[in-house]
């Protein structure tokens, strides 16, 4: 019975770790192809469509930046925690 509980707990831990990793995966957006074409727009519809795509691209870039900032904060907090744990371990070993 204990083995089943341990396996279940380990499975949950792996799932949570994977979920958190995927939650912080930031995907860099690509500029819309309409913005990179040469020449003027053929008509107002094409201009309006490209303008909407550019506005969507701006939102995607903002989300990408926010995601990267969240990931950096998380990485910093983890590094600080790792450092503090190492210092505590060192001090225990040193008898301080």
Residue of 52 and 9 predicted with greater confidence:
52
Percentage of residues in the chain having pLDDT higher than 70: 74
Contact 53, 34 (CB under 8 A): yes
DSSP-based three-state secondary structure for 27: coil
Q: How far apart are CA 37 and CA 48, in angstroms?
A: 15
Q: How many CA atoms lie within 13 A of 30 on its CB side?
A: 4
The pLDDT of residue 27 is 95
Report pLDDT digits (tens) over 19-34.
Answer: 454 455 899 999 999 9
Report pLDDT digits (tens) over 62-76.
Answer: 999 999 999 999 999
């Amino acid at each position: 019975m204990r083995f089943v509980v341990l396996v279940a707990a380990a499975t949950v831990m792996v799932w949570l770790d994977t979920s958190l990793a995927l939650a912080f995966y930031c995907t860099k957006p690509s500029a819309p192809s309409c913005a990179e074409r040469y020449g003027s727009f053929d008509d107002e519809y094409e201009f309006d469509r490209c303008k909407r795509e550019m506005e969507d691209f701006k939102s995607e870039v903002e989300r990408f930046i926010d995601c990267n900032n969240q990931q950096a904060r998380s990485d910093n907090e983890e590094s600080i925690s790792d450092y503090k744990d190492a210092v505590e371990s060192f001090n225990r070993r040193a008898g301080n």
